[in-house]
Amino acid sequence: MLVLDSQHRVERDITATRGLLNSSLVHPREVFREAIAERAAAIILVHNHPSGDPTPSPDDRVVTEQLVQAGKVLGIPVQDHVIIGRGRYTSFAEAGLL
């Protein structure tokens, strides 16, 4: 994830979790523990798809919604979720999925 300051500048990038070949366990607790420790004003989620296809999976959509809701409760908004794959990307914000 990218930790943003109050001006939405990137302060730091942090690895909150590591996945397996075709899945990753992501829980809001782990993501926001790091964001709180870094005093993030907002965050951008970033992960890769080893398949090379950056199309969001149903699980990506569910986890993103959980993280967006957790961020609202904590006052640390999720500004975007970017999925990277073989030189391409999908931005949830650009695609209107946030």
In a domain, 84, yes or no: yes
pLDDT surpasses 70 at 87: yes
Q: What is the CATH number for 84? A: 3.40.140.10
In a domain, 97, yes or no: no
Q: Where are the beta strands (DSSP E) in 18-76?
A: 42-48
In a domain, 69, yes or no: yes
pLDDT of residue 74: 97
In a domain, 62, yes or no: yes
The domain tally of the chain equals 1
Full residue range of the structural domain in which residue 20 is found: 2-91
In a domain, 55, yes or no: yes
Angle CA 70–75–76, to nearest 5? 75
**36-56 mean pLDDT:** 95
CA 50 from centre of chain: 16
Instruction: Give tens-digit pLDDT for 11-29.
Output: 999 987 766 555 566 789 9
In a domain, 96, yes or no: no
Exposure of 60 by Cβ count < 10 A (0-12 exposed, 13-18 middle, 19+ buried)? buried
pTM of the model: 0.89
Q: CA–CA separation, 16 vs 28, rounded Å?
A: 10
In a domain, 11, yes or no: yes
